[in-house]
Amino acid sequence: MNYSLLTSTNPAEIKSDCIAVSIFTNKQLSTAARQLDNAIDGIISKFLSIADFSGKCGQSHLLYTNTGQCSCILLVGCGKENEFNQETACTVIKKASKKIAETSAKHATLFLLDTLSERIICEQSMRQSILTFSDSIYSFNKYKSTPKEEAKLEQVCMAFTTEPPCDVTKMLAEGKAIAKGMHLSRDLANQPGNVCTPTFMAETAQSLGRQYDSISVDVLDEDDMQALGMGAFLSVSKGSKEPGKMIVLHYKGTDNSNRPIALVGKGVTFDTGGISLKPGSNMDEMKFDMCGAASVMGTINACAEMQLPINLVAVLATAENMPSSQATKPGDIVTSMSGKTIEVLNTDAEGRLVLCDALTYVGRYNPEIVIDTATLTGACVVALGHHISAVLANSDELARDLIDAGNEINDKTWQLPMNESYTKQLKSSFADLGNIGGPGAGAITAGCFLSKFAEDYEWAHIDIAGTAWKGKNATGRPVPLLSQYLINKASN
Ligand code: BES
Ligand code: MN
Ligand code: ZN
């Protein structure tokens, strides 16, 4: 999809297959709607005077015309004008993209963010619009012999009757960059487990390194990890023929020697549960157990597109969790890179095992902040469902910054608590730690487990078990959240 911009434009003076304009509550015409209406003999106001169209948020109607200027006008209800925000923008653009897809329009011009007077709301709505549009046209059909009919729409123009109150060129670029990162993340995650192996993840990272001068990639293989003493990670990949990989990406966006921000992602390319085998129903969805790693890769892609002036290091812990005669067994004790010993009481709690060594490893880059993201626990889905990701952190300030960033870009999170009482649930009879904390508060005890390996820096963990995919389709979350956090970080 091509996106473009037009500011200080009268809709009566442009040519486009479809022009979308806002109608506010009580049939109130927006500036763009009024200007267009004046130029086409009041077609819009005549329609509104007889139709059940009040302008409430999410309403829409296509008016076909023969004015020569455009073949259809899309009226979109935007609710109360002074209540328009990034969430309304999301609803409105989603609706508009659906309606436009019903037409044969190749070129659409949207005057839907017009009349925003606040800079922040303009910025958020602008980014949000691009994400929403690109989400609405996303599909993954690499493996269908007869692919779905391609969308006809080629060009979307975001248009304004005045000079908008924010840097729309910049916001468009940011929106496009984040959408690109989400696309990469979703494509990776939607790949089946027999294609998207740790090796495939490493190849994808390396190709990203070839595309951008600002990105470089190192891949640690199992011998390297053995030499580093990553016994926790290796206990997971051990049962599989697919070799595990620790993938390290560096993004250099500035020459300053500030400590980097680190992103860590769980990349279990398929989670059978191992010897603690999962039940069969919906096990196919465990191909999505690498969404943490995929979203970190997507975020690095977005940062490189935006050329954000920060330095990042990303560590993707990629492995396949399989049962076999070589697999780790319940009760096995392994030594992590940190030196802490772990009793693997359940081989299905494997995410924390690959992540704990990644968290120790990333310490060598002396990071200012470390954020890991993972489809870590079913308990997180029980706690928060599919709408909101969980944040756990050893720094309330960092948790706050992540929650704020998520709200800004509509990729929401909620903080869960951590304290010593929960950590105690991880006691083992034989080792320093067990890898499970019993039936209560599973998302929290998983966070507590990770916190034991993140004591040297400010750290937050984002559990995306409920948000990384929806039905059988990856969502690309939390690429927007991480990107927004880093945009904010870069501007401070
Ligand atoms: N990848 C799963 C978590 C998961 C389950 C994510 C369902 C999304 C949907 C993780 O590796 C896992 O199996 N966790 C166990 C931990 C338990 C054994 C302590 C779980 O949540 O059941
Ligand atoms: Mn598991
Ligand atoms: Zn898992």
Q: Please state the rounded mean pLDDT for residues 425-454.
A: 98
CA distance to 17, 99, 155, 228, per residue, from 63 (Å): 12, 11, 20, 66
Distance 199 CA to ligand 3 centre (A): 18
Distance 270 CA to ligand 3 centre (A): 8
Lowest mean pLDDT among 144-148, 326-330, 349-353: 144-148
Residue 10: is it exposed, middle or buried by C-beta count within 10 angstroms (0-12/13-18/19+)? middle
- Which ligand number lies closest to the CA of residue 285? 1
Query: Does residue 336 carry a pLDDT above 90?
Result: yes
Q: Is 352 a catalytic residue?
A: yes
- Which ligand number lies closest to the CA of residue 272? 2
Nearest atom, ligand 1, residue 437 CA: 19
Q: Could you tell me if the CB of 436 is within 6 A of ligand 1?
A: yes
Query: Does residue 71 carry a pLDDT above 90?
Result: no
What is the band of 149 on the pLDDT scale with cuts at 50, 70, 90? confident
- Which ligand number lies closest to the CA of residue 385? 1
Q: Could you tell me if the CB of 269 is within 6 A of ligand 1?
A: no
Distance 273 CA to ligand 2 centre (A): 5
| Contact (CB, 8 A) for 333 and 431 | yes
Distance 433 CA to ligand 1 centre (A): 18
Q: Is 278 a catalytic residue?
A: yes
Distance 421 CA to ligand 1 centre (A): 22
Nearest atom, ligand 1, residue 278 CA: 13
Contacts of residue 213, Cβ cutoff 8 Å, sequence gap at least 6: none
User: What's residue 492's pLDDT?
Assistant: 86
Distance 376 CA to ligand 1 centre (A): 6
User: What's residue 230's pLDDT?
Assistant: 99
Percent pLDDT > 70 in the chain is 100
**Catalytic one among 186, 238, 266, 352?**
352
What is the band of 67 on the pLDDT scale with cuts at 50, 70, 90? confident
Q: Could you tell me if the CB of 465 is within 6 A of ligand 1?
A: yes
Q: Going from the N-terminus, what domains does the chain have, and what CATH number goes with each?
A: 2-142+149-162 (3.40.220.10), 177-491 (3.40.630.10)
Distance 421 CA to ligand 3 centre (A): 24
Six token digits for residue 329: 């067994």
Burial per residue of 118-132, b for 16 or more beta-carbon CB atoms within 10 angstroms, e otherwise? eeebbbbbbbbbbbb
Q: Could you tell me if the CB of 349 is within 6 A of ligand 1?
A: yes
User: What's residue 256's pLDDT?
Assistant: 85
Q: Please state the rounded mean pLDDT for residues 136-153.
A: 89
Q: Could you tell me if the CB of 401 is within 6 A of ligand 1?
A: no
Q: Please state the rounded mean pLDDT for residues 32-36.
A: 97
**Catalytic one among 252, 278, 412, 489?**
278
Q: State if pTM tops 0.95.
A: yes
Residue 250's identity, in one-letter code, is H
Q: State how far the Cα of 318 lies from the Cα of 270, in Å rounded to an integer.
A: 10
Six token digits for residue 275: 């010897």
Distance 235 CA to ligand 3 centre (A): 14
What is the band of 69 on the pLDDT scale with cuts at 50, 70, 90? confident
* Dihedral sign, Cα of residue 109, residue 115, residue 120, residue 125: negative
Query: Does residue 392 carry a pLDDT above 90?
Result: yes
CA 197, 201, 202, 205: dihedral to nearest 10 degrees?
170
What is the band of 147 on the pLDDT scale with cuts at 50, 70, 90? confident
User: What's residue 75's pLDDT?
Assistant: 98
DSSP category for residue 456:
T
Q: Could you tell me if the CB of 381 is within 6 A of ligand 1?
A: yes
User: What's residue 390's pLDDT?
Assistant: 99
Q: Could you tell me if the CB of 344 is within 6 A of ligand 1?
A: no
- Which ligand number lies closest to the CA of residue 438? 1
Query: Does residue 257 carry a pLDDT above 90?
Result: no
Mean pLDDT, the chain, integer:
97
Q: Could you tell me if the CB of 168 is within 6 A of ligand 1?
A: no
User: What's residue 70's pLDDT?
Assistant: 84
- Which ligand number lies closest to the CA of residue 439? 1
User: What's residue 330's pLDDT?
Assistant: 98
Q: Could you tell me if the CB of 351 is within 6 A of ligand 1?
A: yes
Q: Could you tell me if the CB of 444 is within 6 A of ligand 1?
A: no
Q: Note the pLDDT tens digit of each residue in 87-103.
A: 899 999 999 999 999 99
Q: Whose CA is nearest to atom 13 of ligand 1?
A: 348
User: What's residue 47's pLDDT?
Assistant: 97
Identify which of 270, 278, 348, 435 to mutate to test ligand 1's pocket (most ligand atoms within 8 A of the CB): 348
Q: State how far the Cα of 245 lies from the Cα of 197, in Å rounded to an integer.
A: 10
Q: State how far the Cα of 336 lies from the Cα of 351, in Å rounded to an integer.
A: 14
Query: Does residue 200 carry a pLDDT above 80?
Result: yes
Nearest atom, ligand 1, residue 375 CA: 6
Q: Could you tell me if the CB of 348 is within 6 A of ligand 1?
A: yes
